[in-house]
Amino acid sequence: MLEVDGQSGANLGISLMAANTSTPSLVRSAWVGEDFVRTFAAHGVNNRAVAVVNAFGHNYNYDVTATCVSPQIDILEPRQTNFALVGEPASPIAFLARVRVTGGGAPVRGLVESSFSFDADGDAVTVVANSLQEIGGGEYWATLLPPTKPAGTTFVDFKACLDGTICDTETNALLYVAPGNSDIIILHDESGSMSTEDVVGEGTRLENAQKAAAVWANLAQNGDRYGVMGFNAKNNPVGCGLPGGDGNCELDIRTHMARTEITNPTSQIPTIEDAINLTDALEWTPIGAGLRAAKNALQASPYSLNPKYIILLSDGEENVNPLYGDPTSGIQQEMIDSGVVVHTIGFSGDSPSALLGQIAADTGGIFRYVPTSPGDSMAQAAVSMTAADVAGLLIAQGAGSTEMPPTGVFTYPLANDTPYTVTLRGFTEDGEGAPTEPQVVTPKEDPDPPSGFIQINGGVPQTFSRNVVLHVNVSDELLDGLPSPGSAASIANDYNRNNLVSAGEQMRFTNNTGAGWSPWEPFAPEKPWMLDPECAPGTSCVVYAQFKDAAENESLVVYDEIFFQPARIYLPLVLRASSPTR
């Protein structure tokens, strides 16, 4: 670990480097300020450490400290509460893994693929070649391929190790169940601020976004459909972006790769990566327009029944109309109604965590935050502690912070129907640890959506008429069982059972989620319905349904399908011989 600690008020140019003189290779992080600290991989990776310090116009005192520290690895994903579906035991599929590596409290830079090993209940997990990426400083993403397992395997533990000895384990983080196929648009923020390099040597925001997107690309499997898009707005008229302008800039929504079915992942993943590398850093930030365009691309003909996802990678507040956060724009409700799930990834300290977190929460997605921080000297001391020494600090943006005891159940009162960005820190008398990833939460008396299903004509396989009856079942009571990955549900069902059950269930239907829904109406066990006029005879027709309760909690979209074959009438043909004439 290299640390520069300058006198109070010092303005120092600090460059910290690690090198491998035999390769040769160099890893560098630089900062201008009073203090700076970074930890670099040493054994087996680098054999030299260098600190260069400059002053600008004044003389300052400073200390340079080099310390050997033991690194710590923490699994960020998958986890027990956000487990990965990895396919059938005999034919598993790749999944996304994220780990954070720190040493002395500072991010560890420059680790390579050979530094890591992973396993699933004792069997080796394979890193997909060239997929390991250092995103920012100290966070590593990779596409991993789990081992085959005996038939009937369900949940297994996931372990990540450094040099085979320093490890972290997540219980029941992998589930051997096939997730099915997906339609995915990787959506890049191409605004000008994406060219910012928050910490010199640790990549621009655009470069880190491209690395993260490349890991997603390596998850593509046969039957998926992938596309790559970017959003930007031109500075036309000049100064049009908010807050100085009126927000009505010329939109520049780009398609770098049209939605394409994956039939050969080996040959098509490089094509997706090439499209990702075409993204650029340009001018203004129209997040709302970008989401709408990506949603429309996912729902365009030919339509599929695959679940639909947007991977939104952004760094800045939206500043171009239509704004997602403006209720009059309709973007927020449009995205919720579409059923498209938006996973958001935020970069840098400027990342609008509340907005990106809200987008993910609205659509059932996950918000992932990749902070870029210069580090400081406050909490870098390596300390020896026991569990009894550690307490916690809960920080709720908009509600202040509150200390928590080291053990036990802790409750913190927050106002209902108000969104909060919540992080947690552990601390001792010697310093604080790094914060958890921020989570956007909105407390409600009834946070649980209803569950339900539909059957067309009571579940029969075929209909002769487009006029059908939908048989509907819905309940706002909490169902037993394990929540799906990324859902708002919690495994703490004992707490959930204390939530208010609003009831007052309503329902709506559509033949095509991209073409609008029927109006909300009170729940009824039967609903007369007409199948899509464009559904051709001799094919399966689909009807979608969604439910909500009195607290406006909306369910996931469910569907049923039925084979449509109009009745045919067969008329007999009778041939009679004519009587001979005379």
SS3 string of 253-276? Answer: EEEEEEEEECCCHHHHHHHHHHHH
Q: Do 269 and 330 fall into the same domain?
A: yes
**Beta pairing, strands 439-441 & 420-428:** antiparallel
Tell me, yes or no, whether 379 lies in a domain: no
Closest CA to 48 of 71, 73, 66: 66
Tell me how far apart the alpha carbons of residues 375 and 377 are, in angstroms, rounded to a whole number.
Answer: 7
- Burial of 550 from C-beta contacts in 10 A (0-12 / 13-18 / 19+): middle
Looking at the predicted structure, is the pLDDT value of residue 488 above 50? no
Which position has the token pair 């600190």? 51
Q: Please say which residue of 14, 42, 66 terminates a domain.
A: 66
Task: Please state, in angstroms and rounded to a whole number, the distance separating the CA atoms of residues 280 and 234.
Answer: 13
Instruction: Name the least confident of 182-186, 259-263, 369-373.
Output: 369-373
- The answer to whether position 385 is within a domain reads no
Phi-psi region of 87 (alpha: psi -120 to 50; beta: other; left: phi over 0): left
Rounded distance, CA 432 to CA 428, Å?
6
Grouping H, G, I as helix, E, B as strand and the rest as coil, residue 401 is strand
Q: What is the structure's pLDDT at 447?
A: 81
- Yes or no: say if 57 and 85 are a contact pair by the CB < 8 Å rule: no
Pair 512, 303: CB distance under 8 Å: yes
The region of weakest confidence among 79-88, 142-151, 376-385, 389-398 is 376-385
**307 or 444, higher pLDDT:** 307
Q: Is the pLDDT of residue 103 over 50?
A: yes
Q: Are residues 57 and 206 in the same domain?
A: no
pLDDT in tens, 143-166: 999 999 999 999 999 999 999 999
Can you give the pLDDT at residue 483?
Answer: 45
Three-state secondary structure readout of 276-298: HCCCCCCCECCHHHHHHHHHHHH
Same domain, 489 and 342: no
Residues 339 and 245 in one domain: yes
pLDDT for the residue 390: 42
Q: What is the rounded distance in angstroms from the CA atom of residue 26 to the CA atom of residue 134? A: 14
Check residues 410 and 168 and name the one with the higher pLDDT: 168
Strand order in the sheet with 526-530: 451-456, 467-475, 526-530
pLDDT averaged over every residue in the chain: 85
Higher pLDDT, 5 or 398: 5
Most confident of 108-112, 224-228, 574-578: 224-228
Domain boundary among 128, 146, 175: 175
- Give the pLDDT confidence of 14-42 residue by residue, as tens digits: 999 999 998 888 999 999 889 999 999 98
Residue 150 counted as domain residue = yes
Mean pLDDT along residues 37-50: 90
Distance CA 191, CA 209 (A): 12
Tokens of 3: 């640390």
Residue 13 lies in a domain: yes
Do 199 and 348 fall into the same domain?
Answer: yes
Same domain, 437 and 472: no
pLDDT number for residue 418? 73
Rounded mean pLDDT, 488-511 = 67
Pairing mode of beta strands 506-510, 451-456: unpaired
| Pair 203, 342 in one domain | yes
How far, in Å, are 540, 554, 557, 558 from residue 511 at the CA level? 12, 18, 12, 12
Tokens of 471: 């048989």
Q: What is the CATH number of the domain that holds 521?
A: 2.60.40
Which amino acid does the sequence have at 512? N
pLDDT by residue (tens digit) across 470-482? 999 998 877 555 4
pLDDT of amino acid 48: 92
User: Do 221 and 314 share a domain, yes or no?
Assistant: yes
Could you tell me whether strands 12-20 and 2-6 are parallel, antiparallel, or unpaired per DSSP bridges?
unpaired
Candidates 227, 145, 148, 242; CA nearest to 191 is 242
Pairing assessment for the beta strands 462-463 and 439-441 based on DSSP bridges: unpaired
Amino acid identity, position 435? P
Q: Is the per-residue pLDDT at 506 higher than 90?
A: yes
Is residue 318 situated within a structural domain?
A: yes
Question: Encoding tokens for residue 177?
Answer: 């169940």
Q: Work out the pLDDT band at 566, boundaries 50, 70, 90.
A: confident
Tally of domains within the chain: 5
Tokens of 475: 């309940």
Looking up tokens 């992942």 gives 265
Residue 581 belongs to some domain of the structure: no
Inside any domain, residue 93: yes
Residues 325 and 249 in one domain: yes
Q: Can you tell me the distance from the alpha carbon of 385 to that of 426, in angstroms, rounded to the nearest whole number?
A: 12
What is the arithmetic mean of pLDDT over 554-576?
81
Indicate whether 570 belongs to any domain: no
pLDDT class of 446 with cuts at 50, 70, 90: confident
In 3-state terms, the chain is what percent helix, strand and coil (to 5)?
15, 40, 45
Q: Which residues contact 570 (CB under 8 A, 6 or more apart)?
A: none
Q: How far is CA 273 from CA 120, 135, 189, 295, in A?
A: 28, 16, 16, 21
The pLDDT of residue 468: 95
The answer on 151 and 89 residing in a single domain is yes
Domain holding 13, by residue range, is: 2-66
Among 379, 411, 441, the domain boundary falls at 441
Tokens linked to 140: 């590593």
The two counts, helices (H) then strands (E), for the chain are: 6, 37
Check whether residue 166 and residue 191 sit in a common domain. no
Residues 483 and 528 in one domain: yes
pLDDT exceeds 60 at position 351: no
Average pLDDT over residues 340-356: 78
Q: Where does residue 22 rank: exposed (0-12), middle (13-18), buried (19+ CB within 10 A)? A: exposed
Taking the C-alpha atoms of residue 388 and residue 457, their distance in angstroms, rounded to an integer, is: 61
- Provide the pLDDT for residue 580: 59
